[in-house]
Structure 1
């Protein structure tokens, strides 16, 4: 069996913000009735969190549930726990209309950190990043590609994109974080 590797091998860049590929992360798409008792119970068992409200992410340690659409969640778990979590979700949702898919190897995760990290996203995403509330997730675009991001720390954001465009996204983040390309906000 081959060893799993992240899209870019943990590459990073330090400019006025630090951007880095965050490495392997277990990610599971779950679709179904988010208001059902079975879904609520399954998500709680898998993540330790409630089903998140619209445009929210609920985080419990190294696990999370993120709202992606009215019938879709992104479950985040340690990479090595993804397959077991898929099996547990399938069992918990058996008998209800649902879809559970391990998308860990189809996604790439990046962190943007530093006191001015939000400026990197401001350059790339059509989102009012400055008003992003704690626990809010945004599905949007980073330049020309689909992405989702949330504030993952006091001075840190986490961004998820498709693995197939990981090099492009890292290039965007690196360019947007270069010294001399800062936004001057008054």
Structure 2
């Protein structure tokens, strides 16, 4: 009888080890398998039920976020948020949120395997990302807690700077990127960090990489 082999879950950047520039100026690493859920709801109906189970409120202001521990809510639109949590807590948190919102008109969709997350950290992280987008990333325009979408090179991504990683010695931008674009985006980021000593990263199939 053939041996039963269970499927192995793999992240889109499982073949990429974390990399670091000279003197730790920039660090890059995938944060695989974070729980990610897209919530659509009337904010006034959803805010208190979610607060009771998540311990944090819905961010009402555009491009803001709220966070408590490993759980965060990112504003995505007037009635849309992304709920982000640690891999091991995703199923339980999803069930609690669904139960809390049972009396409200809403949609809560598991998008965990639609995006992966690349963390770009270090004192030069902001400068590296500035090379790749027209989004104003100056601290006055993009403070801690902000989250929004933009284009980096030829890829769309959501960029978030968590509150708890807000000083220039520990900036840790979180970039949510589609699985199918993850390797391109990884190489793009590495290419932009070459001036600080980030090692060159070859594309998986040898595609030519250009920033323009």
Deviation at 1:6, TM superposition (A): 2.2
Deviation at 1:127, TM superposition (A): 0.9
Name the CA distance, whole Å, in 2 between partners of 1:113 and 1:165: 20
User: Match for residue 64 of structure 2?
Assistant: 56
Cα RMSD between the aligned structures? 1.9
**Contact kept? 1:56, 1:135, Cα under 8 Å:** yes
Name the CA distance, whole Å, in 1 between partners of 2:53 and 2:82: 12
Counterpart selection for 1:92 from 81, 87, 100 = 100
The 5-angstrom pairing of residues 108-147 of structure 1 reads: 108-130=116-138, 131-147=141-157
User: Match for residue 172 of structure 1?
Assistant: 188
Change (3 A) 1:46 1:168: farther
Larger deviation, residues 1-10 vs 152-161: 1-10
**SS across alignment from 2:43:** coil
**SS across alignment from 1:129:** coil
**Contact kept? 1:20, 1:170, Cα under 8 Å:** no
Larger deviation, residues 9-18 vs 142-151: 9-18
- Which structure carries more relative contact order (alpha carbon 8 Å, separation 6+)? 1
Name the CA distance, whole Å, in 1 between partners of 2:156 and 2:127: 19
- The total of aligned residue pairs comes to 179
Give the TM-score taking structure 2 as reference length.
0.77
User: Match for residue 6 of structure 1?
Assistant: 11
Name the CA distance, whole Å, in 2 between partners of 1:124 and 1:179: 14
Structure (1/2) with the larger strand percentage: 1
Q: Which ranges in structure 2 are unaligned for 5 or more consecutive residues?
A: 1-5, 198-212
Deviation at 1:4, TM superposition (A): 2.9
Name the CA distance, whole Å, in 2 between partners of 1:122 and 1:61: 28
**SS across alignment from 1:65:** strand
**Contact kept? 1:147, 1:162, Cα under 8 Å:** yes
Name the CA distance, whole Å, in 2 between partners of 1:45 and 1:95: 14
Bigger CA radius of gyration: 2
Change (3 A) 1:144 1:77: same
